[in-house]
Chain A
Amino acid sequence: MAGELIGNILTLIVLAGLGAAGVLAVILWKKNRASRVSFLRFVIQAVGLAALFFLFALEPAIPLLYILIAWFAATLFLGRFFCGWICPFAFIMDVESVVRRALKIRHRLLPEKLNVALHKGRYLILAAFLLLPIALWVVDPPPNTASAVMMGQLLAGPFRPYSIIIDPLIPPVVPWTGQLILGDINLSYPYVGDIVTFIEATPGQILALAFVAVTLIGAFFIRRVWCRFCPAGASIASLNQFKAFKGVPLLYIDKDEEKCTKCGVCKRVCPAQVNEVYEQKGGKINTSQCMLCARCVEMCPYKDALKIKLANKTVFESRNWLEPSIESEERKIE
């Protein structure tokens, strides 16, 4: 009874908070053009988190499958949009950034080379995540058939990557599934489950703790540090690498070469340190490093130099934060 009441109250608080954030988003949308998209994204991330929570908590088995299917389909069309706008793990990192900003602490950059290396190397990391259990199984076979079967299921061929995809998502959304237990406290954290499942208790816990510390502290100083090599991001991106799907992505950033002054703003504001938007001369930006968060488009100070396009239609274009009179823009020569 009491638990239920508390649960309801908590739910109400969460909903009220989200509602307030929504109102704030509308106000900000009108007033502060230099951060309205970022804030909207923040709200969507929060709403996404709450929505996912309910989806997972209500009926664990079936919705999970649906989510996976929907996600799989959406990814084909939207690329890493998920990383930029929904991923709960990314949300944690963004919250950290907000805190850091509020404390007026400057962020650090990963060296460019390392960033690119991580980006390219993330398939290795993905492979490691996939192969680690197999290797461990070979080295140290499971004690009984039941657990062997379980592991076999986990590893089952092509479905395993999507378990990896879902991994960063589940613990923040459904806290009790986290496996990093310190004392009595369940520290739910992405990927920790994988680490502790396949590695013996103590080293596993130590490794898990180290992982948590590195990513948490790292993300405080380096924006979206995990996204640079996230296996989930890699899985998503790999979907778009198939030739058959090349034409499919509907959501992308488009750059107008003549309107770009090479001012470098897009490069500096990108939380993933993507260079391509700055360096590519024009046209569709091709990089799976970009998570389509739209920060660069929001901050680019020149009208229409950068655009986010959905199915070849512009949904959002640059220079919003220095908008001049609308009238004069619409004027055409007669």
Chain B
Amino acid sequence: MSKEKTVERRYLPEISQKEMAELKNTVKTASQKIIADNIERMKKADPHRPEAMKYFDDIANLFGRRQQEIQAEKERGKKVIGYMCLFAPTELILAADAIPVRVNSGWYDTSKVGDRVVPVEVCPVIRSTIGAKMIELSPFLEQSDALISVLTCDGMTKLGEILSDQTTVWGMNVPRVKDSNQSLRFWSDEIKHMKAQIESLTGNKITRKSLKEAIANSHRATKAFRRLQDLRKANPVILGRDAMLVNQAYSWDDQKRWTEKTEALCAELEVRVQQKDWVCSPDTPRIMLTGTPMFWPDNWKLPALVEEGSPSGVIVADEQCSGERILNDPVGVDEWSMDDMLNAISERYLMASTCPCFTSKDGNEDRINWLLNKVKESNVQGVIYYVIRGCMLYAMEYSRVKKALDKINIPVYYLDTEYTREDVGQLKTRVEAFLELLNARVDF
């Protein structure tokens, strides 16, 4: 039961039911095909794919099992809270016995629909999410009883406002200079306010006990998550795409089950490590991705190109909020009082973030440090700096990242693209040229 807002629509145009249904149908059919196709390609790339990936293939179907599960939970009275940035404090949502889901859209086709509301200069993630809302394509976006919109980049700031035409949207102000006491105070207040809003929507009070449990469960998930990333650090036992899918599935899957399944996957991979059963030759160039987030299912083209090209590479790490940043940072609680837990949550979401929306007296140094550290830890040989046109902040930080990586002699390649399949051929040439270069360096 979605709460129909009676307010006049300020942004979204009226679309006739018929047109909407038609659009939804075509895009959904196409999307289902793409999901199947992506998975097929992942299977082909690794004929000896881990057994445990079966579960994630299943959960990867956005119109499948998980949608039905959430629907059933909703009917039982649970609330669903969607979010569009990693800044949303999921522990609080879980503690209030609600379901957190991330609703950023990876659909290419809906970005065309979104064009009716905002011009093409706007970041496609935003346009696509607007489009998805207009034709009610995204199951999770439709199921959300409220959305947490964090005002990070310009696109996100307006996205919340536009979506508030049709759903309840809670804005969250994020300070742009994060390493100061006043910023932290401000952000802590936002977190406390969010807690109150979540409580009033769900009707469940967030107690010390429930919050402690939610934090502990998230710690378990982080543990599993890190175990998986650690497995990617040495000789490749899993394709980058597989790991990326697992990582991203966390943002819509059931937390406990995700943790179990990821642990199972890791256990399987650890056996392979023992047997020296590598997924590809250990000489394959090791790639790290950074930049704009890549959302399942459509925006999987770059990882596919990297790992299927000739020569091919293997993605061993990333610095993306759609990837390794999801669960990297745990909430570090000192004393399990409500107060300290809330402080710990505030700090974890604000201070540990490497989002380019921040600046500080050292520039966004945390991100640079993350990159340098990952390069060393994961033995990265080349970095692909991925930017979709319209993503200002990532584009603008490129020079700084390049300088830092140049210093340690790691080649970085700036790859810009759009939410479209049309440039795949051209991208392929560019990616392969880069991989060629990496191979040459290794030989040398």
Are B270 and A325 in contact, with the CB atoms below 8 A? Answer: yes
Are B227 and A265 in contact, with the CB atoms below 8 A? Answer: no
Are B373 and A107 in contact, with the CB atoms below 8 A? Answer: no
Are B235 and A333 in contact, with the CB atoms below 8 A? Answer: yes
Are B379 and A327 in contact, with the CB atoms below 8 A? Answer: no
Are B227 and A301 in contact, with the CB atoms below 8 A? Answer: no
Residues of chain B contacted by A104 (CB below 8 angstroms): 208, 336-337
Docked pose: A101 CA to B339 CA in angstroms: 12
Given A258-B372, A263-B347: A328 in contact with B231 (beta carbons within 8 A): yes
A259 contacts partner chain B, Cβ-Cβ < 8 Å: yes
Produce 1/0 per residue, B325-340, CB < 8 A to A.
0000110111111111
Are A269 and B369 in contact, with the CB atoms below 8 A? Answer: no
A262 contacts partner chain B, Cβ-Cβ < 8 Å: yes
Residue from B181, B234, B339, B348 within 8 A of A332 (CB atoms): B234
The A interface, classified by DSSP as helix, strand, loop or mixed, is loop
A322 contacts partner chain B, Cβ-Cβ < 8 Å: yes
Docked pose: A265 CA to B181 CA in angstroms: 14
Are A112 and B181 in contact, with the CB atoms below 8 A? Answer: yes
A309 contacts partner chain B, Cβ-Cβ < 8 Å: no
Residue of B with least CB distance to A104: B337
A284 contacts partner chain B, Cβ-Cβ < 8 Å: no
B222 contacts partner chain A, Cβ-Cβ < 8 Å: yes
A329 contacts partner chain B, Cβ-Cβ < 8 Å: yes
Produce 1/0 per residue, A262-278, CB < 8 A to B.
11110011000000000
Are B352 and A261 in contact, with the CB atoms below 8 A? Answer: yes
Docked pose: A261 CA to B372 CA in angstroms: 12
A138 nearest CB across to chain B (Å) = 45
Residue from A106, A258, A262, A323 within 8 A of B339 (CB atoms): A106
B206 nearest CB across to chain A (Å) = 15
Produce 1/0 per residue, A81-120, CB < 8 A to B.
0000000000000000000010011110000100000000
Residues of chain B contacted by A331 (CB below 8 angstroms): 233-235, 273
Which residues of chain A from 231 to 272 have any CB-CB distance to chain B below 8 Å in the complex?
257-265, 268-269
Residue of B with least CB distance to A101: B335
Which residues of chain B from 307 to 361 have any CB-CB distance to chain A below 8 Å in the complex?
329-330, 332-340, 343-344, 347-348, 351-352, 354
Residues of chain B contacted by A327 (CB below 8 angstroms): 270, 273
Docked pose: A257 CA to B372 CA in angstroms: 10
B55 contacts partner chain A, Cβ-Cβ < 8 Å: no
Residues of chain A contacted by B333 (CB below 8 angstroms): 34
A295 nearest CB across to chain B (Å) = 8
Are A333 and B369 in contact, with the CB atoms below 8 A? Answer: no
Are B373 and A268 in contact, with the CB atoms below 8 A? Answer: no
Are B351 and A322 in contact, with the CB atoms below 8 A? Answer: no
Interface hub of A112, A260, A324 (most chain B Cβ within 10 A): A324
Are A322 and B335 in contact, with the CB atoms below 8 A? Answer: no
Are A322 and B179 in contact, with the CB atoms below 8 A? Answer: no
Residue of A with least CB distance to B234: A331
Are A333 and B379 in contact, with the CB atoms below 8 A? Answer: yes
Residue of B with least CB distance to A257: B369
Docked pose: A288 CA to B174 CA in angstroms: 35
Docked pose: A278 CA to B227 CA in angstroms: 26
Residue from A34, A261, A325 within 8 A of B266 (CB atoms): A325
Are A258 and B373 in contact, with the CB atoms below 8 A? Answer: yes
Docked pose: A105 CA to B222 CA in angstroms: 28
Residue from A258, A263, A328 within 8 A of B233 (CB atoms): A328
B165 contacts partner chain A, Cβ-Cβ < 8 Å: no
Given A328-B230, A332-B234: A106 in contact with B266 (beta carbons within 8 A): no
Residue from A259, A268, A322 within 8 A of B226 (CB atoms): A322
Residue from B227, B234, B282 within 8 A of A325 (CB atoms): B227
B400 contacts partner chain A, Cβ-Cβ < 8 Å: no
Residue of A with least CB distance to B208: A104
B376 contacts partner chain A, Cβ-Cβ < 8 Å: yes
Interface hub of B334, B351, B365 (most chain A Cβ within 10 A): B334
Residues of chain A contacted by B181 (CB below 8 angstroms): 112
B268 nearest CB across to chain A (Å) = 12
Which residues of chain A from 27 to 55 have any CB-CB distance to chain B below 8 Å in the complex?
34
Are A262 and B351 in contact, with the CB atoms below 8 A? Answer: yes
Residues of chain B contacted by A300 (CB below 8 angstroms): 332
Are B330 and A261 in contact, with the CB atoms below 8 A? Answer: no
Are A322 and B330 in contact, with the CB atoms below 8 A? Answer: yes
A246 nearest CB across to chain B (Å) = 28
Residues of chain A contacted by B366 (CB below 8 angstroms): 261-262
Residue of B with least CB distance to A261: B352
Residue of B with least CB distance to A103: B337
Are A261 and B354 in contact, with the CB atoms below 8 A? Answer: yes
Which residues of chain A from 198 to 221 have any CB-CB distance to chain B below 8 Å in the complex?
none
A299 contacts partner chain B, Cβ-Cβ < 8 Å: yes
B74 contacts partner chain A, Cβ-Cβ < 8 Å: no
B182 nearest CB across to chain A (Å) = 12
A334 contacts partner chain B, Cβ-Cβ < 8 Å: yes
Docked pose: A264 CA to B231 CA in angstroms: 27
Residue from B222, B338, B343, B352 within 8 A of A263 (CB atoms): B352
Are B270 and A328 in contact, with the CB atoms below 8 A? Answer: yes
Residues of chain A contacted by B365 (CB below 8 angstroms): 262
Which residues of chain A from 286 to 334 have any CB-CB distance to chain B below 8 Å in the complex?
299-301, 322-325, 327-329, 331-334
The 8 closest A-B pairs by CB, nearest first: A265-B332, A263-B352, A331-B234, A106-B339, A328-B230, A269-B334, A324-B227, A258-B373
| Further 19 A-B residue pairs, CB within 8 A, beyond A264-B351, A268-B340 | A106-B335, A106-B339, A107-B335, A258-B373, A259-B373, A261-B370, A262-B352, A263-B329, A264-B352, A265-B347, A268-B332, A269-B332, A301-B330, A322-B226, A323-B223, A324-B223, A325-B230, A331-B233, A334-B235
Chain A residues with CB under 8 Å of chain B are 34, 101, 104-107, 112, 257-265, 268-269, 299-301, 322-325, 327-329, 331-334
